[in-house]
A = this chain, B = another copy of it.
């Protein structure tokens, strides 16, 4: 029943999160070449525009190349939806770890430099 997946308004935060992941991927994947995969250029645009503040606004090609090489498991220069979800999952787990560590510490005055 497609009505229950993409066409209706999400009724919970988890449904919203899933729709946002799907819609964001296709917003960029549809721009050039294969409509259902991200090219290097499309991935770069997605990372900078959607995850800029998480990636420390690093706009250099090197960071994008590294992510691309890590993600592109089958080495075809394109990132498919499953590869994208693996990236987002890993990022979310990392954020959660960081969040918990910070909450456990509860030392807001402590400065962590990277």
Contacts and interface: CB of A to CB of B under 8 A. Distances in A.
A30 B82 CA distance: 30
A77 interface: no
13 contacts: A1-B114, A4-B53, A12-B24, A12-B50, A13-B24, A14-B21, A14-B24, A14-B51, A22-B95, A22-B99, A82-B93, A85-B92, A88-B89
Interface residues of A, number: 43
Interface in A8-29: 11-18, 20-25
Interface of A: 1-2, 4-6, 11-18, 20-25, 36, 49-54, 81-82, 85-86, 88-89, 91-93, 95-96, 98-100, 102, 112, 114
A17 B15 contact: no
Given A21-B14, A24-B14, A88-B17, A6 B54 contact: no
A12 to B, nearest CB: 4
B95 A85 contact: no
B85 A53 contact: no
Contacts of A85: 89, 92-93
